Structure 1
Amino acid sequence: MSERYEYQPHRLLRQRVRDIPSGAEGVLMAVITEDVSPNGIPHWVDLAYIRNKSGREFTTAVGNIEPA
């Protein structure tokens, strides 16, 4: 893959979710597999992009989310 990211389908897209570690809630806007390697050695992770009430987005690992 030449891109450093790829959008993924998820059953909770556009639904309210909770980030389990922080307790923060918002709407799941996207799940993206991203290459987060700083040194050129590929390291891919699945990140959930969540938009909170103020409109700001934050990320967390997909395994950290649950329906709110």
Structure 2
Amino acid sequence: MIENILLPLAVLIVGLIYSKWLCKINNGFFRKNVDLFSNSKDLQGWFAALVLIVTGFIFLLKGIFNYTS
């Protein structure tokens, strides 16, 4: 149960918290008067948050389906 549901849920929560923190320190995702592609470090952070959220969600669904079938 821990590796099938709780760990993916923890990864999903960490991804959401990380993306919220990125939004807070960058003053939002869509900043005015700033080129979005000028700083690739920001994009790497957003990509990491997206990967955490997507993988957490996929493995959470996979874990839930293991228990239902």
Larger of the two Rg values belongs to structure: 2
- TM-score after normalising by structure 1: 0.22
Q: If the length of structure 2 is used for normalisation, what is the TM-score?
A: 0.22
Higher strand share: 1
